[in-house]
Protein backbone atom coordinates (compact mmCIF):
# COMPACT_ATOMS: atom_id res chain seq x y z
CA UNK A 1 0.00 0.00 0.00
CA UNK A 2 2.63 2.54 1.20
CA UNK A 3 0.44 5.62 0.88
CA UNK A 4 2.05 9.00 1.46
CA UNK A 5 0.75 10.32 4.76
CA UNK A 6 -0.40 13.93 5.00
CA UNK A 7 1.73 16.23 7.19
CA UNK A 8 -0.90 16.00 9.96
CA UNK A 9 -0.97 12.17 9.95
CA UNK A 10 2.82 12.04 9.64
CA UNK A 11 3.06 14.20 12.75
CA UNK A 12 0.71 11.92 14.65
CA UNK A 13 2.73 8.87 13.57
CA UNK A 14 6.10 10.43 14.44
CA UNK A 15 4.93 11.55 17.89
CA UNK A 16 3.47 8.12 18.67
CA UNK A 17 6.69 6.39 17.58
CA UNK A 18 8.86 8.80 19.58
CA UNK A 19 7.04 7.96 22.82
CA UNK A 20 6.90 4.21 22.15
CA UNK A 21 10.50 3.36 21.27
CA UNK A 22 11.37 -0.31 20.93
CA UNK A 23 7.85 -1.31 19.90
CA UNK A 24 8.18 -2.22 16.18
CA UNK A 25 4.99 -4.30 15.98
CA UNK A 26 2.96 -1.36 17.29
CA UNK A 27 4.66 1.02 14.84
CA UNK A 28 3.83 -1.38 11.99
CA UNK A 29 0.16 -1.65 12.95
CA UNK A 30 -0.11 2.10 13.47
CA UNK A 31 1.40 2.88 10.07
CA UNK A 32 -0.99 0.49 8.31
CA UNK A 33 -4.03 2.05 9.97
CA UNK A 34 -2.97 5.64 9.31
CA UNK A 35 -2.29 4.85 5.65
CA UNK A 36 -5.70 3.22 5.33
CA UNK A 37 -7.63 6.06 6.95
CA UNK A 38 -5.84 8.83 5.01
CA UNK A 39 -8.69 9.10 2.44
CA UNK A 40 -11.26 9.11 5.27
CA UNK A 41 -9.53 11.96 7.08
CA UNK A 42 -9.17 13.86 3.81
CA UNK A 43 -12.96 13.79 3.33
CA UNK A 44 -13.71 14.33 7.02
CA UNK A 45 -11.21 16.86 8.44
CA UNK A 46 -13.21 17.00 11.67
CA UNK A 47 -11.45 13.79 12.75
CA UNK A 48 -8.19 15.76 12.89
CA UNK A 49 -9.70 19.05 14.07
CA UNK A 50 -11.30 17.41 17.12
CA UNK A 51 -8.12 15.50 18.02
CA UNK A 52 -9.82 12.12 17.53
CA UNK A 53 -6.98 10.54 15.54
CA UNK A 54 -4.38 11.82 18.01
CA UNK A 55 -6.42 10.42 20.89
CA UNK A 56 -7.13 7.12 19.20
CA UNK A 57 -3.47 6.14 18.82
CA UNK A 58 -2.78 6.61 22.55
CA UNK A 59 -4.16 3.94 24.92
CA UNK A 60 -6.63 5.12 27.53
CA UNK A 61 -4.76 3.11 30.15
CA UNK A 62 -1.65 0.88 30.26
CA UNK A 63 -1.20 -1.47 33.21
CA UNK A 64 2.07 -3.31 33.94
CA UNK A 65 2.73 -5.42 37.02
CA UNK A 66 4.94 -8.17 38.38
CA UNK A 67 3.60 -11.72 38.70
CA UNK A 68 5.46 -13.75 41.36
CA UNK A 69 4.78 -17.50 41.56
CA UNK A 70 6.39 -20.70 42.83
CA UNK A 71 7.05 -23.78 40.68
CA UNK A 72 6.64 -27.40 41.77
CA UNK A 73 10.25 -27.51 43.01
CA UNK A 74 9.71 -24.50 45.26
CA UNK A 75 11.66 -22.07 43.07
CA UNK A 76 10.32 -18.51 42.92
CA UNK A 77 9.75 -16.94 39.48
CA UNK A 78 8.75 -13.39 38.66
CA UNK A 79 7.08 -12.64 35.32
CA UNK A 80 5.63 -9.42 34.00
CA UNK A 81 1.92 -8.90 33.37
CA UNK A 82 0.25 -6.41 31.04
CA UNK A 83 -3.17 -5.02 30.22
CA UNK A 84 -3.49 -2.23 27.66
CA UNK A 85 -7.01 -0.80 27.78
CA UNK A 86 -6.94 0.99 24.47
CA UNK A 87 -10.36 2.42 23.67
CA UNK A 88 -13.80 2.11 25.27
CA UNK A 89 -15.85 4.52 23.12
CA UNK A 90 -18.06 1.72 21.78
CA UNK A 91 -18.34 -0.38 24.93
CA UNK A 92 -16.31 -2.10 27.66
CA UNK A 93 -12.73 -3.01 26.79
CA UNK A 94 -12.61 -6.42 25.10
CA UNK A 95 -9.61 -8.50 24.06
CA UNK A 96 -7.63 -11.59 24.88
CA UNK A 97 -4.78 -12.47 27.21
CA UNK A 98 -1.62 -14.00 25.71
CA UNK A 99 0.88 -16.08 27.72
CA UNK A 100 4.07 -16.47 25.67
CA UNK A 101 7.78 -15.68 26.17
CA UNK A 102 7.67 -13.19 23.29
CA UNK A 103 5.12 -10.96 25.05
CA UNK A 104 6.23 -7.40 25.73
CA UNK A 105 4.50 -4.03 25.90
CA UNK A 106 4.90 -3.33 22.17
CA UNK A 107 3.22 -6.58 21.17
CA UNK A 108 0.35 -6.03 23.61
CA UNK A 109 -0.10 -2.47 22.32
CA UNK A 110 -0.17 -3.60 18.69
CA UNK A 111 -2.72 -6.30 19.51
CA UNK A 112 -4.86 -3.88 21.53
CA UNK A 113 -4.74 -1.26 18.78
CA UNK A 114 -5.83 -3.81 16.16
CA UNK A 115 -8.57 -4.98 18.51
CA UNK A 116 -10.24 -1.55 18.47
CA UNK A 117 -11.04 -1.79 14.76
CA UNK A 118 -11.77 -5.51 14.75
CA UNK A 119 -14.29 -5.10 17.55
CA UNK A 120 -15.86 -2.07 15.89
CA UNK A 121 -16.33 -4.08 12.68
CA UNK A 122 -18.40 -6.72 14.49
CA UNK A 123 -21.04 -4.11 15.37
CA UNK A 124 -21.33 -5.66 18.85
CA UNK A 125 -20.68 -2.62 21.07
CA UNK A 126 -17.29 -3.52 22.52
CA UNK A 127 -14.08 -1.54 22.93
CA UNK A 128 -10.51 -2.67 22.32
CA UNK A 129 -7.88 -4.03 24.74
CA UNK A 130 -5.25 -6.76 25.06
CA UNK A 131 -3.16 -8.23 27.84
CA UNK A 132 -0.93 -11.08 28.86
CA UNK A 133 2.44 -12.07 30.26
CA UNK A 134 5.86 -13.31 29.20
CA UNK A 135 5.09 -16.52 31.14
CA UNK A 136 5.52 -19.72 29.08
CA UNK A 137 2.86 -22.33 29.96
CA UNK A 138 4.49 -24.95 27.71
CA UNK A 139 5.83 -27.83 29.77
CA UNK A 140 4.38 -26.52 33.03
CA UNK A 141 2.17 -28.67 35.26
CA UNK A 142 -1.48 -27.88 35.91
CA UNK A 143 -0.55 -26.84 39.45
CA UNK A 144 2.11 -24.43 38.23
CA UNK A 145 -0.26 -22.89 35.70
CA UNK A 146 -2.95 -22.56 38.37
CA UNK A 147 -0.55 -20.76 40.74
CA UNK A 148 0.62 -18.44 37.98
CA UNK A 149 -2.95 -17.61 36.89
CA UNK A 150 -3.98 -16.92 40.48
CA UNK A 151 -1.05 -14.56 40.99
CA UNK A 152 -1.70 -12.83 37.67
CA UNK A 153 -5.37 -12.29 38.49
CA UNK A 154 -4.59 -11.09 42.02
CA UNK A 155 -3.36 -7.85 40.47
CA UNK A 156 -5.43 -7.62 37.29
CA UNK A 157 -8.85 -8.24 38.89
CA UNK A 158 -9.09 -4.67 40.20
CA UNK A 159 -9.08 -3.37 36.60
CA UNK A 160 -11.76 -5.74 35.25
CA UNK A 161 -15.56 -6.11 35.30
CA UNK A 162 -18.40 -6.88 32.93
CA UNK A 163 -19.03 -3.16 32.35
CA UNK A 164 -15.33 -2.21 32.40
CA UNK A 165 -13.02 -4.76 30.78
CA UNK A 166 -13.80 -8.29 29.62
CA UNK A 167 -10.75 -10.47 28.81
CA UNK A 168 -10.67 -13.74 26.88
CA UNK A 169 -8.04 -16.23 25.75
CA UNK A 170 -5.32 -15.96 23.12
CA UNK A 171 -2.03 -17.78 22.49
CA UNK A 172 -1.17 -19.83 25.59
CA UNK A 173 -4.50 -19.10 27.26
CA UNK A 174 -7.15 -21.73 26.64
CA UNK A 175 -10.06 -23.19 28.61
CA UNK A 176 -7.79 -24.43 31.42
CA UNK A 177 -6.17 -21.03 31.99
CA UNK A 178 -9.48 -19.17 31.71
CA UNK A 179 -10.96 -21.46 34.35
CA UNK A 180 -8.14 -20.71 36.80
CA UNK A 181 -8.27 -16.98 36.06
CA UNK A 182 -12.04 -16.77 36.47
CA UNK A 183 -11.97 -18.81 39.65
CA UNK A 184 -9.49 -16.41 41.24
CA UNK A 185 -11.52 -13.39 40.09
CA UNK A 186 -14.64 -14.93 41.69
CA UNK A 187 -12.75 -15.60 44.93
CA UNK A 188 -11.35 -12.07 45.16
CA UNK A 189 -14.55 -10.22 44.28
CA UNK A 190 -17.14 -12.53 45.88
CA UNK A 191 -19.16 -12.25 42.65
CA UNK A 192 -20.01 -14.85 40.01
CA UNK A 193 -19.82 -12.21 37.31
CA UNK A 194 -20.10 -14.51 34.30
CA UNK A 195 -19.96 -11.71 31.74
CA UNK A 196 -16.51 -10.44 32.76
CA UNK A 197 -14.62 -13.29 31.05
CA UNK A 198 -15.34 -15.02 27.75
CA UNK A 199 -14.18 -18.36 26.44
CA UNK A 200 -15.43 -20.01 29.64
CA UNK A 201 -16.45 -23.65 29.91
CA UNK A 202 -19.94 -24.22 28.52
CA UNK A 203 -21.09 -25.73 31.82
CA UNK A 204 -20.38 -22.50 33.74
CA UNK A 205 -21.42 -19.72 31.39
CA UNK A 206 -19.47 -20.28 28.19
CA UNK A 207 -20.97 -20.04 24.72
CA UNK A 208 -21.28 -22.75 22.13
CA UNK A 209 -19.00 -22.16 19.09
CA UNK A 210 -16.62 -19.82 20.99
CA UNK A 211 -13.77 -22.34 20.64
CA UNK A 212 -14.40 -22.72 16.92
CA UNK A 213 -15.33 -19.11 16.16
CA UNK A 214 -12.06 -17.52 15.05
CA UNK A 215 -11.13 -20.34 12.68
CA UNK A 216 -14.67 -20.73 11.37
CA UNK A 217 -14.94 -16.96 10.90
CA UNK A 218 -11.73 -16.74 8.86
CA UNK A 219 -13.14 -19.37 6.50
CA UNK A 220 -16.53 -17.66 6.29
CA UNK A 221 -14.76 -14.41 5.36
CA UNK A 222 -12.79 -16.29 2.70
CA UNK A 223 -16.05 -17.70 1.38
CA UNK A 224 -17.52 -14.18 1.09
CA UNK A 225 -14.41 -12.84 -0.67
CA UNK A 226 -14.42 -15.70 -3.17
CA UNK A 227 -18.13 -15.14 -3.83
CA UNK A 228 -17.34 -11.64 -5.15
CA UNK A 229 -15.40 -13.43 -7.93
CA UNK A 230 -18.04 -16.15 -8.40
CA UNK A 231 -15.74 -18.67 -6.74
CA UNK A 232 -16.12 -20.94 -3.70
CA UNK A 233 -14.12 -23.09 -1.30
CA UNK A 234 -15.42 -26.41 -2.59
CA UNK A 235 -12.80 -28.35 -4.52
CA UNK A 236 -9.92 -26.05 -3.60
CA UNK A 237 -6.71 -26.91 -1.74
CA UNK A 238 -5.80 -24.83 1.31
CA UNK A 239 -2.67 -24.40 3.40
CA UNK A 240 -3.00 -23.39 7.04
CA UNK A 241 -0.22 -22.40 9.46
CA UNK A 242 -0.44 -23.03 13.17
CA UNK A 243 -2.13 -25.82 15.08
CA UNK A 244 -3.96 -24.00 17.86
CA UNK A 245 -7.64 -23.14 18.11
CA UNK A 246 -7.65 -20.91 15.05
CA UNK A 247 -5.85 -23.32 12.74
CA UNK A 248 -7.66 -26.46 13.88
CA UNK A 249 -11.13 -25.01 13.38
CA UNK A 250 -10.22 -23.25 10.15
CA UNK A 251 -9.17 -26.67 8.84
CA UNK A 252 -12.41 -28.19 10.10
CA UNK A 253 -14.60 -25.57 8.40
CA UNK A 254 -12.62 -25.66 5.13
CA UNK A 255 -13.30 -29.38 4.92
CA UNK A 256 -16.96 -29.02 5.90
CA UNK A 257 -17.31 -26.62 2.95
CA UNK A 258 -15.73 -29.08 0.52
CA UNK A 259 -12.16 -27.79 0.49
CA UNK A 260 -9.04 -29.79 1.31
CA UNK A 261 -6.73 -28.39 4.00
CA UNK A 262 -3.37 -30.14 3.76
CA UNK A 263 -1.04 -28.45 6.30
CA UNK A 264 -0.64 -27.49 9.96
CA UNK A 265 2.44 -26.31 11.84
CA UNK A 266 4.06 -25.54 15.17
CA UNK A 267 7.56 -24.72 16.38
CA UNK A 268 8.73 -28.25 15.49
CA UNK A 269 7.95 -27.81 11.77
CA UNK A 270 4.98 -28.31 9.49
CA UNK A 271 3.05 -31.32 8.29
CA UNK A 272 1.71 -32.03 4.82
CA UNK A 273 -1.17 -34.46 4.46
CA UNK A 274 -2.23 -34.55 0.82
CA UNK A 275 -5.34 -36.58 1.67
CA UNK A 276 -6.55 -33.72 3.87
CA UNK A 277 -5.75 -33.17 7.54
CA UNK A 278 -7.47 -35.64 9.89
CA UNK A 279 -9.08 -33.05 12.17
CA UNK A 280 -9.99 -35.47 14.95
CA UNK A 281 -6.41 -36.77 15.15
CA UNK A 282 -5.04 -33.21 15.15
CA UNK A 283 -7.43 -32.27 17.98
CA UNK A 284 -6.33 -35.34 19.96
CA UNK A 285 -2.65 -34.48 19.54
CA UNK A 286 -2.87 -30.74 20.20
CA UNK A 287 -5.89 -30.23 22.47
CA UNK A 288 -5.90 -33.42 24.55
CA UNK A 289 -2.28 -34.56 24.60
CA UNK A 290 -0.76 -31.05 24.14
CA UNK A 291 1.75 -32.68 21.80
CA UNK A 292 3.61 -31.58 18.66
CA UNK A 293 2.59 -31.92 15.01
CA UNK A 294 5.32 -34.57 14.68
CA UNK A 295 3.10 -36.80 16.83
CA UNK A 296 0.39 -36.48 14.18
CA UNK A 297 2.76 -37.79 11.47
CA UNK A 298 3.73 -40.83 13.52
CA UNK A 299 0.05 -41.88 13.58
CA UNK A 300 -1.14 -40.78 10.13
CA UNK A 301 0.11 -42.86 7.20
CA UNK A 302 0.86 -40.79 4.12
CA UNK A 303 1.55 -37.55 6.01
CA UNK A 304 5.02 -36.10 6.34
CA UNK A 305 6.86 -33.70 8.64
CA UNK A 306 9.10 -30.97 7.22
CA UNK A 307 11.45 -29.24 9.66
CA UNK A 308 13.63 -27.11 7.38
CA UNK A 309 11.20 -25.31 5.08
CA UNK A 310 8.28 -22.91 5.07
CA UNK A 311 4.65 -23.99 5.11
CA UNK A 312 4.09 -21.39 2.36
CA UNK A 313 6.21 -23.52 -0.01
CA UNK A 314 3.30 -25.97 -0.37
CA UNK A 315 1.21 -25.27 -3.52
CA UNK A 316 -2.43 -24.34 -2.84
CA UNK A 317 -5.13 -21.96 -4.01
CA UNK A 318 -6.10 -20.70 -0.54
CA UNK A 319 -3.86 -19.70 2.38
CA UNK A 320 -4.73 -19.11 6.04
CA UNK A 321 -1.84 -17.71 8.12
CA UNK A 322 -3.09 -18.65 11.59
CA UNK A 323 -0.04 -18.88 13.86
CA UNK A 324 1.43 -15.52 14.92
CA UNK A 325 2.44 -12.01 13.83
CA UNK A 326 4.80 -11.46 10.86
CA UNK A 327 5.01 -15.14 9.91
CA UNK A 328 4.32 -14.64 6.16
CA UNK A 329 7.24 -12.77 4.60
CA UNK A 330 7.81 -11.17 1.19
CA UNK A 331 9.61 -14.30 -0.04
CA UNK A 332 6.67 -16.41 1.14
CA UNK A 333 4.23 -14.19 -0.77
CA UNK A 334 6.36 -14.59 -3.89
CA UNK A 335 6.22 -18.37 -3.52
CA UNK A 336 2.45 -18.36 -2.91
CA UNK A 337 1.85 -16.29 -6.05
CA UNK A 338 4.15 -18.52 -8.13
CA UNK A 339 2.21 -21.54 -6.89
CA UNK A 340 -1.15 -20.06 -7.93
CA UNK A 341 -2.71 -18.81 -4.69
CA UNK A 342 -5.89 -16.80 -5.33
CA UNK A 343 -6.89 -15.72 -1.79
CA UNK A 344 -5.37 -15.25 1.67
CA UNK A 345 -7.39 -14.93 4.89
CA UNK A 346 -5.53 -14.01 8.08
CA UNK A 347 -6.55 -16.16 11.04
CA UNK A 348 -3.81 -14.68 13.25
CA UNK A 349 -3.24 -11.01 14.10
CA UNK A 350 -1.02 -9.23 11.55
CA UNK A 351 0.69 -12.44 10.36
CA UNK A 352 1.63 -10.96 6.96
CA UNK A 353 4.40 -8.38 6.70
CA UNK A 354 3.52 -5.06 4.96
CA UNK A 355 5.67 -5.74 1.88
CA UNK A 356 4.09 -9.19 1.53
CA UNK A 357 0.59 -7.68 1.77
CA UNK A 358 1.47 -5.14 -0.90
CA UNK A 359 2.84 -7.81 -3.26
CA UNK A 360 -0.21 -10.06 -2.82
CA UNK A 361 -2.57 -7.17 -3.55
CA UNK A 362 -0.56 -6.06 -6.60
CA UNK A 363 -0.76 -9.63 -7.93
CA UNK A 364 -4.56 -9.56 -7.67
CA UNK A 365 -4.74 -12.00 -4.76
CA UNK A 366 -7.78 -11.48 -2.54
CA UNK A 367 -6.38 -10.50 0.86
CA UNK A 368 -8.35 -10.41 4.12
CA UNK A 369 -6.57 -8.66 7.02
CA UNK A 370 -6.87 -10.23 10.46
CA UNK A 371 -8.90 -7.39 11.95
CA UNK A 372 -11.70 -8.39 9.57
CA UNK A 373 -11.09 -12.08 8.86
CA UNK A 374 -10.47 -13.21 12.43
CA UNK A 375 -13.17 -11.06 14.03
CA UNK A 376 -15.37 -14.14 14.53
CA UNK A 377 -13.72 -14.95 17.84
CA UNK A 378 -14.44 -11.65 19.50
CA UNK A 379 -17.88 -11.47 17.86
CA UNK A 380 -18.81 -14.76 19.52
CA UNK A 381 -17.33 -13.48 22.78
CA UNK A 382 -19.80 -10.60 22.56
CA UNK A 383 -22.58 -13.14 22.00
CA UNK A 384 -21.35 -14.98 25.11
CA UNK A 385 -21.60 -11.70 27.06
CA UNK A 386 -25.17 -11.27 25.80
CA UNK A 387 -26.11 -14.77 26.91
CA UNK A 388 -24.54 -14.20 30.34
CA UNK A 389 -26.42 -10.91 30.78
CA UNK A 390 -29.77 -12.52 29.96
CA UNK A 391 -29.05 -15.89 31.64
CA UNK A 392 -29.78 -17.63 28.35
CA UNK A 393 -28.05 -20.45 26.49
CA UNK A 394 -28.07 -20.89 22.73
CA UNK A 395 -27.44 -24.22 21.05
CA UNK A 396 -24.54 -24.83 18.66
CA UNK A 397 -26.43 -24.29 15.41
CA UNK A 398 -28.07 -21.09 16.69
CA UNK A 399 -24.69 -19.70 17.76
CA UNK A 400 -23.02 -20.69 14.49
CA UNK A 401 -25.79 -19.05 12.47
CA UNK A 402 -25.21 -15.81 14.40
CA UNK A 403 -21.45 -16.06 13.78
CA UNK A 404 -21.99 -16.66 10.05
CA UNK A 405 -24.32 -13.67 9.84
CA UNK A 406 -21.83 -11.40 11.66
CA UNK A 407 -18.98 -12.44 9.36
CA UNK A 408 -21.12 -11.63 6.33
CA UNK A 409 -21.75 -8.18 7.83
CA UNK A 410 -18.03 -7.66 8.55
CA UNK A 411 -17.22 -8.56 4.94
CA UNK A 412 -19.93 -6.28 3.60
CA UNK A 413 -18.73 -3.36 5.74
CA UNK A 414 -15.11 -3.74 4.62
CA UNK A 415 -16.02 -4.31 0.98
CA UNK A 416 -18.31 -1.28 0.80
CA UNK A 417 -15.89 1.01 2.66
CA UNK A 418 -13.10 0.07 0.26
CA UNK A 419 -15.35 0.99 -2.68
CA UNK A 420 -16.47 4.23 -1.00
CA UNK A 421 -12.92 5.43 -0.36
CA UNK A 422 -11.57 4.68 -3.82
CA UNK A 423 -9.81 1.36 -3.18
CA UNK A 424 -12.21 -1.30 -4.52
CA UNK A 425 -11.28 -4.81 -3.46
CA UNK A 426 -8.71 -3.58 -0.91
CA UNK A 427 -9.95 -5.12 2.32
CA UNK A 428 -7.10 -3.59 4.33
CA UNK A 429 -8.32 -0.08 3.49
CA UNK A 430 -11.95 -1.12 3.83
CA UNK A 431 -11.62 -2.79 7.24
CA UNK A 432 -9.60 0.04 8.74
CA UNK A 433 -11.81 2.76 7.29
CA UNK A 434 -15.08 1.15 8.39
CA UNK A 435 -13.82 0.34 11.90
CA UNK A 436 -12.20 3.74 12.32
CA UNK A 437 -15.33 5.69 11.41
CA UNK A 438 -17.47 3.81 13.94
CA UNK A 439 -15.01 4.48 16.76
CA UNK A 440 -14.18 8.04 15.73
CA UNK A 441 -17.83 9.08 15.50
CA UNK A 442 -18.45 7.68 19.00
CA UNK A 443 -15.42 9.54 20.34
CA UNK A 444 -16.62 12.84 18.87
CA UNK A 445 -20.12 12.31 20.31
CA UNK A 446 -18.72 11.71 23.81
CA UNK A 447 -16.40 14.72 23.87
CA UNK A 448 -12.75 15.18 24.75
CA UNK A 449 -12.17 12.62 27.52
Q: What would the pLDDT profile of 240-290 be if each residue is shown by its tens digit?
A: 999 999 999 999 999 999 999 999 999 999 999 999 999 999 999 999 998
Query: pLDDT by residue (tens digit) across 56-95?
Result: 999 999 999 999 999 999 999 999 999 999 999 999 999 9
**Mean pLDDT throughout 330-352?**
97
Ligand-binding annotation for 263, yes or no, is no
Cα angle 143, 212, 136; round to 5: 30
In sequence order, the 6+-apart residues with CB closer than 8 A to the CB of 243 are 264, 265, 266, 282, 286, 293
CB 127, CB 92: distance < 8 Å: yes
Q: Is 124 annotated as a binding residue?
A: no
Burial of 371 (0-12, 13-18, 19+ CB in 10 A): buried
Q: Is 381 annotated as a binding residue?
A: yes
pLDDT, tens digit, for every residue of 387-439? 988 888 888 999 999 999 999 999 999 999 999 999 999 999 999 999 999 99
Q: Which residues have a catalytic role annotated?
A: 130
Q: What is the pLDDT of residues 112-155, one digit of tens each?
A: 999 999 999 999 999 999 999 999 998 999 999 999 999 999 99
pLDDT tens readout for residues 367-384: 999 999 999 989 898 889
What the chain holds in terms of domains, given with CATH numbers, is 1-58+427-449 (1.10.285.10), 61-192 (3.40.50.10860), 211-363 (3.40.50.720)
CA–CA distance, 432 with 301 (Å, rounded to integer): 44
pLDDT > 70 fraction of the chain, expressed in percent and rounded: 99
Q: What mean pLDDT value characterizes the chain?
A: 95
Query: Residue 1: its pLDDT value, please?
Result: 45
Whether 449 shows a pLDDT value over 50: the answer reads: yes
Residue 53 has pLDDT above 60, yes or no: yes
Mean pLDDT (whole number) for 82-110: 97
Q: Residue 165's pLDDT is what?
A: 97
Q: How confident is the model at residue 5 (pLDDT cuts 50, 70, 90)?
A: confident
Q: Look at residue 3 and tell me whether its pLDDT is greater than 70.
A: no
Tallying the residues shown for the chain, one arrives at: 449
Instruction: For residue 21, give Cα distances in angstroms to 26, 86, 105, 362.
Output: 10, 18, 11, 31
286 annotated as a binding-site residue: no
Q: Can you give the pTM of this predicted structure? A: 0.90
- Tell me whether residue 189 is annotated as binding: no
Q: Indicate if the alpha-carbon torsion angle 130, 134, 139, 142 is positive or negative.
A: negative
Q: Is 371 marked as binding a ligand? A: no
DSSP string, 154-207: HHHGGG-BTTTEEEE-BTTB-HHHHHHHHHHHHHHHT---GGG--S--GGGTPP
Tell me the C-alpha distance between 5 and 196, whole Å.
39
d(CA 374, CA 361): 19
Closest CA to 120 of 442, 445, 447, 446: 442
- Answer yes or no: is 236 a known binding residue: no
Percent share of the chain, pLDDT over 90: 89
More confidently predicted of 285 and 201: 285
How far apart, in whole angstroms, are the C-alpha atoms of residue 280 and residue 180? 26
Amino acid sequence: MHSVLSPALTGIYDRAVARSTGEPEFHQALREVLESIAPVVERHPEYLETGVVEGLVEPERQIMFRVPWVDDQGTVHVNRGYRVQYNSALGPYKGGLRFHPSVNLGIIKFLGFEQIFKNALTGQGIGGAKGGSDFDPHGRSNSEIMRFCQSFMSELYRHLGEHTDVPAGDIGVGAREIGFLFGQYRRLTNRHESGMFTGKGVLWGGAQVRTEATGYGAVYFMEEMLATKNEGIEGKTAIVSGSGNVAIYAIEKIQQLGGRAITASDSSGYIVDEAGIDVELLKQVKEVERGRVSDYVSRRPGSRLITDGRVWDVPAQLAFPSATQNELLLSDAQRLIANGVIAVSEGANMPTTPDAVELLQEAGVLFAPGKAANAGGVATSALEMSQNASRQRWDFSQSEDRLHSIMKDVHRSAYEAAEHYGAPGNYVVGANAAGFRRVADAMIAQGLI
